[in-house]
C-alpha cells in the first residue's frame, strides 16, 4: 500500500515512492479556493483514465487526473446516495447519525441526517473565512411541515400536504448546515420526487401537479427507466438538469470573484449524472459511440472541463483545489445494458454494483487537482474513503478538528503533496456500509463482510442472475476475501482462515464500540507546510 508514481509526458514513471522531485519554494499563507464535483451512481470503470477498455473517452477528467493525483483504492462510505452524502458533509459513517444504516429519501422525507450540532464541511470552512455554496442534488433529508405544523414523512402523496409557508426557510436545508448560498433539489433530481427547487432555504415554486414520465425523451427505448411519477413544480427541468446546476455553480464562483476577490470560496457542484434516468442534454446526444449513457458521461466530462476552464479564465486555477468523487457504484441495469450493448463495464472489473457491498458497489473514482500545490501525474493505491475529504480540507486550511467531529475522517493531504512516508498507509482500516446498513471492513489486502450475500441486490433472478457467482461457503454468516489474490471476491475464506476472520470481526467490533475509526488529536498541516510549486 502507499505506492506513488509520477509520470513524465511520455508516460514513463520518473519517481516511485517518496517525495515528488521538483522545484519547490516556501509556501505563503493564502487559503485556496475549493471546488468539489460530486458525481452520482458513477462507477470505477466510468472514466477512461481508470478503464482502458472504456467504450468512450473522458478527455477532460483524464486530463484533470494527469494534472493531479488519481486514487485507485477509493471508496464511498455507503453503496447508496443519501448515506454517502452524509459521509461527505460530516466526515462520518451513517450509523453515527442513525445508529444503523440509512435509506435514500423520497417525497418530503426527513429530517436531515445532518443533525443539529454536527460540524459540517460548510461550517468548518465558513469558520476559516470561506464563502460557501452548493448547487445540485442535496438528498440528506429535510424537515417538511403540514398545515398543522406537523412533520411529514416520506412518500409521494405527502408532497401535496406540504405547507410551504410553515416549512420555509427550511430548518435543516443547506443554508442551515453551513452554506451561504444554495440551489438544490431535495432528492434525486430526476428520479425521486418531490420535484422542486430549493433556493437558499426557500421554495420559489411549490409542487402542484403530477409528473408524467411519457413527457420525457426515452433514448434507446429504455434509458428513461426509474423516472417516478411524483409531484412536481411547474417548469421543473429534467433533461437539462446538470446544465442548470453547472450554470448556478458558475454564477456563484464568478459573482464571488467580482465581489469578494480576496476571500476564498468553497463550492460543491453536485451532479445527477449518471443516475437514472439517462437523459443527456440535446447538445450531447450522439457525442459518443456508446449510446445514451456514454453521451451522459461525456456531458459530465464536458462540464468538468468547462469548470476548470472557468477557473483559468478567472485567474484562480493555480490557487484552487478541485476534487472529483462519486457517491457509490453504477446502477444495476446501467451496468447490464452497457455490458451487453457496448462492452463497457461501468464497475471497472470489480464484482458488484450500486447497493452491493462487493467492491463494485463502493469503489469509485477520486481525483484531486491543485496546480499550485499538488504535483501532477500521480497515481496512488492509498486506501481512502469519501469521509476523508473532511480531515483533508481541515488540514489544508489549518483547522484543528475536535475529536468529536468527523470521527471517520483521515487526512490525505500528505499523500497528495508527496509527504507521506513510502509504503505507509494513511488508513490502518476502512469502514463501509451497504444498502441495508450492514458493515464491511478492510485492513490492507483483507476484506471482511459482516453479512451474507451482496448486502444489496438480489442475484437470484432477473437481469443480475447471469452475474451470480457460486457461493463456495453457503453456510458462512459472513465473508472474508484476500483482495490481493482474489480481487473478484470469488473465494470466501470465512472458515478456511479462521484466525484472520476473528481478527477482522474483533476490529469491527472495536471500531463500532469506540465511537470513531479516525485517530484522536489530528493535527492539520496548514498552508505553511504545503510546498508551493513553481
Give the pLDDT band (50/70/90) at residue 22.
very low
Amino acid 188: pLDDT = 97
How far, in whole angstroms, is CA 376 from its chain's centroid? 22
Does the pLDDT at position 157 exceed 90?
Answer: no
Residue-wise pLDDT tens digits, 159-183: 999 999 999 999 999 999 999 999 9
Over residues 231-241, the pLDDT tens digits come to: 999 999 999 99
Name which residue leads in pLDDT, 7 or 216. 216
What percent of the chain has pLDDT above 70? 95
Tens digits of per-residue pLDDT, 56-65? 999 999 999 9
Which residues does 294 contact at the CB level (< 8 Å), separation at least 6? 55, 56, 287, 288, 338, 342, 344
- Tens digit of each residue's pLDDT (9 = 90 or more) over 210-222: 999 999 999 999 9
Angle, CA 352 vertex, CA 429 and CA 479 arms, to 5°: 50
Confidence category of residue 1, pLDDT binned at 50, 70, 90: very low
Give the residue with greater pLDDT, 17 vs 376: 376
Q: Say what the pLDDT of residue 422 is.
A: 84
Could you tell me the pLDDT band of residue 20, with boundaries at 50, 70 and 90?
Answer: very low
pLDDT in tens, 188-214: 999 999 999 999 999 999 999 999 999
Give the residue-averaged pLDDT of 389-399.
98
Q: For residue 114, give the C-alpha cell.
A: 445532518
* Torsion of the alpha carbons at 446, 452, 453 and 455, rounded to the nearest 10: -90
Question: CB of 213 within 8 A of CB of 238?
Answer: no
Distance CA(422)–CA(2), nearest Å, equals: 6
Using DSSP's 3-state secondary structure scheme, residue 182 falls into: strand
Write out pLDDT tens, residues 106-146.
999 999 999 999 999 999 999 999 999 999 999 999 999 99
**CA dist., res. 38 & res. 85, Å (int):** 9
Q: Would residue 92 be called left, alpha or beta, if left means φ above 0 and alpha means ψ between -120 and 50 degrees? A: beta
Alpha carbon separation from 351 to 155, 194, 435, 470 (Å, rounded): 32, 33, 15, 13
Question: 28 pLDDT band (50/70/90 cuts)?
Answer: low
Residue 11, pLDDT > 90, answer no
Task: Tell me which residue of 404, 401, 403 sits closest to 391, measured CA to CA.
Answer: 401
User: Which residues fall within 8 angstroms of residue 169, CB to CB, at 6 or more apart?
Assistant: 175, 176, 200, 201, 202
Which range in 22-31, 353-362, 415-424 is most confidently predicted, on average pLDDT? 353-362
Predicted local confidence at residue 8, as pLDDT: 32
Residue-wise pLDDT for 496-520, tens only, equals 999 999 999 999 999 999 999 999 9
| Residue-wise pLDDT tens digits, 295-352 | 999 999 999 999 999 999 999 999 999 999 999 999 999 999 999 999 999 999 999 9
- pLDDT of 29: 65
Question: How far apart, in whole angstroms, are the C-alpha atoms of residue 93 and residue 389?
Answer: 13
Provide the sign of the torsion angle of the four alpha carbons 375, 377, 379, 384, taken in this order. positive
**What pLDDT score does 26 carry?**
36
User: Mean pLDDT throughout 476-480?
Assistant: 98
Q: Is the pLDDT of residue 527 over 90?
A: yes
Q: Residue 393: is its pLDDT beyond 50? A: yes
33-384 classified as CATH 3.40.720.10: yes
Confidence at residue 25, expressed as pLDDT on a 0 to 100 scale? 33
Amino acid at each position: 500500500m502507499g505506492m506513488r508514481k509520477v509520470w513524465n509526458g511520455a508516460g514513463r514513471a520518473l519517481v516511485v515512492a517518496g517525495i515528488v522531485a521538483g522545484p519547490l519554494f516556501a509556501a505563503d499563507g493564502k487559503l485556496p479556493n475549493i471546488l468539489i464535483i460530486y458525481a452520482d451512481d458513477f462507477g470505477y470503470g466510468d472514466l477512461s483514465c481508470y478503464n482502458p477498455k472504456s467504450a468512450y473517452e473522458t478527455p477532460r477528467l483524464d486530463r484533470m487526473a494527469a494534472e493531479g493525483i488519481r486514487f485507485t483504492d477509493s471508496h464511498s462510505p455507503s453503496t447508496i446516495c443519501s448515506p454517502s452524502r452524509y459521509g461527505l458533509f460530516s466526515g462520518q459513517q451513517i450509523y453515527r447519525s442513525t445508529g444503523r444504516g440509512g435509506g435514500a429519501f423520497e417525497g418530503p422525507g426527513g429530517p436531515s441526517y445532518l443533525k443539529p450540532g454536527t460540524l459540517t464541511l460548510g461550517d468548518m470552512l465558513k469558520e476559516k473565512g470561506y464563502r460557501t455554496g452548493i448547487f445540485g442534488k442535496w438528498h440528506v433529508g429535510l424537515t417538511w411541515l403540514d398545515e398543522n405544523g406537523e412533520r411529514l414523512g416520506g412518500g409521494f402523496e405527502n408532497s401535496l400536504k406540504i405547507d410551504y409557508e410553515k416549512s420555509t426557510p427550511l430548518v435543516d436545508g443547506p443554508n442551515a448546515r453551513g452554506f451561504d448560498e444554495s440551489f438544490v433539489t431535495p432528492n434525486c433530481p430526476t428520479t425521486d420526487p418531490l420535484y422542486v427547487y430549493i433556493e437558499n432555504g426557500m421554495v420559489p415554486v411549490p409542487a402542484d401537479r403530477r409528473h408524467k414520465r411519457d413527457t420525457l425523451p426515452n433514448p434507446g427505448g429504455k434509458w428513461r427507466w426509474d423516472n417516478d411519477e411524483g409531484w412536481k413544480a411547474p417548469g421543473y427541468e429534467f433533461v437539462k438538469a446538470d446544465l442548470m446546476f453547472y450554470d448556478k455553480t458558475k454564477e456563484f464562483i464568478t459573482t464571488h470573484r467580482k465581489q469578494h476577490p480576496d476571500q476564498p470560496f468553497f463550492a460543491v457542484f453536485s451532479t445527477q449524472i449518471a443516475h437514472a434516468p439517462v437523459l443527456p442534454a440535446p447538445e450531447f446526444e450522439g457525442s459518443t459511440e456508446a449510446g445514451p449513457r456514454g453521451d451522459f458521461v461525456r456531458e459530465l466530462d464536458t462540464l468538468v472541463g468547462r469548470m476548470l476552464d472557468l477557473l483559468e479564465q478567472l485567474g484562480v486555477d493555480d490557487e484552487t483545489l478541485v476534487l472529483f468523487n462519486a457517491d457509490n457504484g453504477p446502477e444495476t441495469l446501467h451496468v447490464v445494458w452497457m455490458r451487453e450493448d457496448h462492452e463497457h463495464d461501468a464497475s471497472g472489473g470489480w464484482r458488484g454494483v450500486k447497493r452491493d457491498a462487493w467492491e463494485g458497489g463502493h469503489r469509485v473514482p477520486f481525483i484531486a487537482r491543485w496546480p499550485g500545490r499538488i504535483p501532477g501525474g500521480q497515481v496512488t493505491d492509498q486506501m481512502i474513503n469519501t469521509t476523508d475529504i473532511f480531515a483533508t480540507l481541515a488540514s489544508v486550511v489549518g483547522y484543528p478538528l475536535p475529536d468529536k467531529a468527523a470521527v471517520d475522517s483521515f487526512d490525505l493531504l500528505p499523500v497528495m503533496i508527496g509527504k507521506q512516508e513510502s509504503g505507509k498507509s494513511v488508513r490502518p482500516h476502512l469502514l463501509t456500509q451497504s444498502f441495508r446498513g450492514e458493515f464491511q471492513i478492510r485492513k490492507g489486502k483483507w476484506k471482511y463482510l459482516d453479512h451474507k450475500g451482496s448486502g444489496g441486490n438480489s442475484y437470484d433472478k432477473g437481469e443480475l442472475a447471469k452475474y451470480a457467482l457460486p457461493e463456495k461457503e453457503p453456510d458462512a454468516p459472513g465473508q472474508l476475501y484476500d483482495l490481493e489474490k482474489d480481487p473478484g471476491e470469488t473465494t470466501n475464506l470465512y472458515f478456511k482462515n479462521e484466525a484472520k476472520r476473528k481478527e477482522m470481526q474483533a476490529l469491527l467490533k472495536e471500531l463500532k464500540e469506540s465511537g470513531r475509526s479516525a485517530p484522536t488529536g489530528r493535527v492539520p498541516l496548514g498552508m505553511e507546510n504545503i510546498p508551493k510549486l513553481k
